[in-house]
Structure 1
Amino acid sequence: MMATAAASGSPPIPSEVAPQTRSGGALRKIDRALGIIIAVPTAVLVIVEVFVLLGGVASRYVFHHPIIWSDELASTLFLWLAMLGSAIALHRSEHMRMTALVGMLSPPMRATLDVVAIVAGLSFLLLILPSAYDFAADELPVTTPAMEISDAWRATALPVGFAVMTAVGVVRLLAVGNWRHVMGALIVTAVMVGGLCLQQPTLENLGNLNLLIFFVGIVACLVFAGVPIAFAFGLATFGYQALTTQTPIVVVVGRIEEGISNLILLSVPLFVFLGLLIEMTGMARAMINFLASLLAHVRGGLSYVLIGAMYLVSGISGSKAADMAAIAPALFPEMKARGSKPGELVALLSATGAQTETIPPSLVLITIGSVTGVSIAALFTGGLLPGIVVGAILCVVVWRRNRSEDLSHVSRASMREIGRTFVIALPAIALPFIIRGAVIEGVATATEVSTIGIAYAALAGLLIYRRFDWQRIYPMLVETAALSGAILLIIGAATGMAWSLTQSGFSRDLARAMAGLPGGVPTFLLVSIAAFVVLGSVLEGIPAVVLFGPLLFPIARQVGVHEVHYAMVIILAMGVGLFAPPFGVGYYAACAISKVHPDEGLKPIAGYIVALLIGLLLVAFVPWISIGFL
């Protein structure tokens, strides 16, 4: 599966690299202290970002006197939050990585590849750190327009963040008990780097064949070996630029910074924190209880509740795993009591994960808007109906599989009980619609509306649901920073890779090839679906979008496909790949949340995958579903 930020707190050094020497205790103390030093200021940054943006919204809409420097300050703090959050993710071993193949290997081989992942990450950090320092130094003379301070205050986040991650990586490497693994990983890395350096004269004459070597061959080897995706992208881009072009690496650092610091992406940590608030305050459970009162008495009723609940909460947390974790524990015990098999449950949970990928305020939608220039308000509007259409097709599968369910022991909820659960759930149900409506109607941007949602959820938890555990706030802030940092570092690295592909002329070649496909729009859509199903299973949604979105969206416009329609098609295609076994990493996340062995869901999920593909094709060839309400 793909490891992501999923737990609060700061776990100790992973067991695979746990110290086996007398210095192990000292290393653990250093590791723990390093985690605290990183986590505390980053948690404070999340809080400050919320208040800065909420203050900007209030000054503009309530007091009609906008604070002109609020966005600039938020942007500066955001880059620091992203870089320190990446360091937290590294410290917690929560950077996104493909471990499906690694997990099939023997324990000694897995341990070796874990060390290789550490060494590969360290290699990238050590290679990029000098250029990151040069980039920050170049920003010293630049003065920001609103606050009138040196832009180096913002740019310094890059070298500091990379330096902190380097320190974390060194501690991890020193903590490895088996030095044979360390030496083996160092030798393998040195041989690969040295071999590529020796071949530099040859590589310089290969032209665009280098794209296959670095961005297909090397990236694939690193990703499938379990190296975190961000570092795999970064190493491939660094190697390509350093060995085959004359471009200074400081330019690549600039592209990484550009990818991370897009102000639209500031909504990523804010929506992550909002999702955690919804779970903590009991708002998610209130929604589920209301849907269950309506449907629990019909055959397959709780399966319909699962589909509806995932639709309501999806996209708000910023993590599909978090969406599933908010819903599954509340529903699965009762579903099992009614006779549902564990494999069926995890299969449906995975299918709903894929179905709800287009539901706003999905971070994939926000990412597409940031890297392609497509209106986020239009994407939010276009994403609602495709999720309903695919969900309806999943409901058909549920109906067929539950026609013989025994409901003799299930009583129908009274109108009074339904009304009571509705009143309790109403503030929670209203939140997703407030968020989506505010963006669609232009009341607030996607970034600003997330702070409104946070304030709303906090007040609802304190005043209405009376569930607000203050002790959980700090772990939630750290978890927010870790997940956001992991996502944003991938976006930065993928932006650098996408820029390299564009500079090479690959985008023009790809445009000509895609535009020249026989069959026009239908063929283009089918090829895109096939490509993004594969990309979704390997890279997950956000990295694939950042890497290929800027290349393919102009081609879609050229062949006559509406950009919002195309966005829905590729997002659903990536969702199918993400949750389809054996390589779909989202499927394994669903298994982990459900505590079900992956083998149990393989047979039941087949029917749901077919339903998802039917829904995907329907959305692809009926554009009105995506753009009918624009």
Structure 2
Amino acid sequence: MIIAIAVLGVILLLLGFEMFLVLGIPALVTKEAFFGRLPDPAVVQKIFGGIDHTTLLAIPFFIFAAHLMGSGQIARNLTGLVRSLIGHTRGGMGHTVIGGSMAFGSVSGSAPATVAAMGKMVYPEMRKSGFSQKFSLGLLVASAETALLIPPSITFIIYGWMTGTSIARLFAGGLAVGIFLGLAFAVYVMIESRRAGIQGDARTTWKERAMAVKTAGWALGMPAIILGGIYSGTITPTEAAAVSVVYAIFVEMVVYRNFGFGDLFRITEQSAIATSVIFVLLAMGGLISFFVTMAQVPTGISNFLTAIDAGPLTFLIIVNVLFLIAGMFIDPNSALLILVPPLYPVATSLGVDPVHFGMIVTLNISLGMITPPFGLDIFVASSTLGKPVLDIIKGVWPFVLVNIIVLLIVTYVPEISLFIPNLIFG
């Protein structure tokens, strides 16, 4: 049965069907072919009941907040603050792109939103600093990956919903892994800067830095509220997401006065469309996951690993290879919905910590965002900057290799993922 699902899904993908149909049609065909006695209302219940979860309310709120900040002044002020602090280092503009992406990711949780918000701001500045077009495009697209790891992360919310893992612990683990990935990119920026002879900006004075902090004060309030509230236990991730929307509207409309009610309506519409796309995928992914579980695929995988005497390390290699291949051809969120349900029970049975496994999965999802030929962030950057997709692909390959190195280290050094969660929550 699982072979039939896979073959039908591949055929639909090659024929150019939308991703929600690639997930949904095989599930419905499987139901009729193998589970004919299952009443039709049960399918409808799985589609709608699967996304009827309080945790998932955080997704539309964070998407809305990301669109508000990307259209307003918060993203620009955060980037300006980062540049004032580290712009004087060698290749300072490159480090600013990484730091700015991490800062924006700490209030948005979305890699595509980070690419769109940062692209027009930082790409011209990178070119002025002396970086090549290829490197500038690659760094812009790759650094946005940190938004999926630096909390709040929409990917962590989906993974936590699917597996029952504490989202607060996932956020804490993602903080360390996201910083680790950002530092790896920074090392590559330093290497490229030395090779190309690129210097940094003029060193800013402490007075100028204090002014930058003052200018970004309202913007800094966002991550303080979100992360401080969650880690202190004052508010849940869902409540933090709702607060972030109210805060962003207040800051952009009342404090900065960047847009009026007409702009707010337009941004709301864009956010609603983006949210609908994700929730349709979640609904269809939940349905096909139900039938995959009914087919006892996790048990089959576990029995296969036992037969070949494979331990956790071998299993995690298989996981990384599966996600790498899937990320090249399908939407990363779809890969998450397809692969996690059968793989997660096997991971826990082998003693892999759920938070550590979540970091591995999310790093793979991040990699899928920039992996040719269908990396989502590549197309977002192309649309935002008006650059050919092939030019962006040429620039992103070195960062794919850096990402793979980080993925392997995080995979086989669990302490990177678990140190902060254990420190905060025990």
- TM-score norm. by structure 2 comes to 0.93
1:535 and 1:409 map into 2 onto residues whose CA distance is: 39
- Please say if 1:552 is aligned against 2:343: yes
State the partner residue of 2:372: 581
- Please say if 1:397 is aligned against 2:188: yes
1:586 and 1:482 map into 2 onto residues whose CA distance is: 18
By how many angstroms is 1:466 displaced? 3.2
Letter in 2 for 1:597: P
1:479 and 1:306 map into 2 onto residues whose CA distance is: 25
By how many angstroms is 1:584 displaced? 2.6
1:311 and 1:593 map into 2 onto residues whose CA distance is: 19
Letter in 2 for 1:396: V
For the residue of structure 1 that corresponds to 2:216, the secondary structure is helix
- TM-score norm. by structure 1 comes to 0.64
The verdict on how the C-alpha distance between 1:468 and 1:493 changes in structure 2, with shifts beyond 3 A counting, is same
Of residues 214, 219, 239, the one that matches 1:448 is 239
Of residues 25, 37, 42, the one that matches 1:235 is 25
Of residues 320, 330, 354, the one that matches 2:121 is 330
Of residues 484, 488, 493, the one that matches 2:275 is 484
By how many angstroms is 1:384 displaced? 0.4
- Please say if 1:418 is aligned against 2:209: yes
State the partner residue of 1:139: none
2:367 and 2:170 map into 1 onto residues whose CA distance is: 19
Q: State how 1:27-42 maps to structure 2 within 5 Å.
A: none
Q: State how 1:515-526 maps to structure 2 within 5 Å.
A: 515-526=306-317
- Please say if 1:541 is aligned against 2:332: yes
By how many angstroms is 1:519 displaced? 4.5
Letter in 2 for 1:577: G
By how many angstroms is 1:405 displaced? 5.0
State the partner residue of 2:381: 590
Structure with the larger RCO, 1 or 2 (CA within 8 Å, 6+ apart): 2
State the partner residue of 1:133: none
By how many angstroms is 1:587 displaced? 2.3
State the partner residue of 1:17: none
What's the CA shift string for 1:411-440, capped at 9, x where partnerless? 332222221111111221231232122122
The verdict on how the C-alpha distance between 1:315 and 1:512 changes in structure 2, with shifts beyond 3 A counting, is farther
Q: State how 1:10-29 maps to structure 2 within 5 Å.
A: none
State the partner residue of 1:22: none
1:484 and 1:316 map into 2 onto residues whose CA distance is: 17
2:49 and 2:302 map into 1 onto residues whose CA distance is: 24
Task: Report if aligned partners of 1:306, 1:349 keep a CA contact under 8 Å in 2.
Answer: yes
1:239 and 1:404 map into 2 onto residues whose CA distance is: 56
For the residue of structure 1 that corresponds to 2:152, the secondary structure is coil
State the partner residue of 1:244: 34
Task: Report if aligned partners of 1:350, 1:586 keep a CA contact under 8 Å in 2.
Answer: yes
2:228 and 2:200 map into 1 onto residues whose CA distance is: 41
The verdict on how the C-alpha distance between 1:607 and 1:409 changes in structure 2, with shifts beyond 3 A counting, is closer
- Please say if 1:310 is aligned against 2:90: no
1:520 and 1:220 map into 2 onto residues whose CA distance is: 30
By how many angstroms is 1:501 displaced? 1.0
Task: Report if aligned partners of 1:533, 1:578 keep a CA contact under 8 Å in 2.
Answer: no
State the partner residue of 1:103: none
Q: State how 1:94-493 maps to structure 2 within 5 Å.
A: 208=1, 211-213=2-4, 215-246=5-36, 247-314=38-105, 316-317=107-108, 319-403=110-194, 405=196, 410-493=201-284
Q: Which runs of 4+ in 1 moved over 4 A?
A: 404-410
What's the CA shift string for 1:51-81, capped at 9, x where partnerless? xxxxxxxxxxxxxxxxxxxxxxxxxxxxxxx
What's the CA shift string for 1:315-358, capped at 9, x where partnerless? 64454221111111111112112232222111112221334422
1:408 and 1:512 map into 2 onto residues whose CA distance is: 56
By how many angstroms is 1:389 displaced? 0.8
State the partner residue of 1:28: none
Letter in 2 for 1:628: F
Letter in 1 for 2:17: V
By how many angstroms is 1:311 displaced? 1.0
State the partner residue of 1:502: 293
For the residue of structure 2 that corresponds to 1:403, the secondary structure is helix
Letter in 2 for 1:563: P
Letter in 1 for 2:117: A
2:199 and 2:161 map into 1 onto residues whose CA distance is: 52
By how many angstroms is 1:576 displaced? 1.3
Task: Report if aligned partners of 2:91, 2:198 keep a CA contact under 8 Å in 1.
Answer: no
Letter in 1 for 2:34: T
What's the CA shift string for 1:505-539, capped at 9, x where partnerless? 22221232245554412111111111112222333
Task: Report if aligned partners of 1:530, 1:573 keep a CA contact under 8 Å in 2.
Answer: no
- Please say if 1:601 is aligned against 2:392: yes
Q: Which moved more, 1:325-334 or 1:426-435?
A: 426-435
Task: Report if aligned partners of 2:23, 2:288 keep a CA contact under 8 Å in 1.
Answer: yes
Count of aligned pairs: 420
State the partner residue of 1:83: none
Which one has the largest radius of gyration? 1
What's the CA shift string for 1:448-491, capped at 9, x where partnerless? 11111112222222443232332211111111111111100111
Q: Which moved more, 1:295-304 or 1:279-288?
A: 295-304
2:195 and 2:134 map into 1 onto residues whose CA distance is: 18
The verdict on how the C-alpha distance between 1:314 and 1:537 changes in structure 2, with shifts beyond 3 A counting, is farther
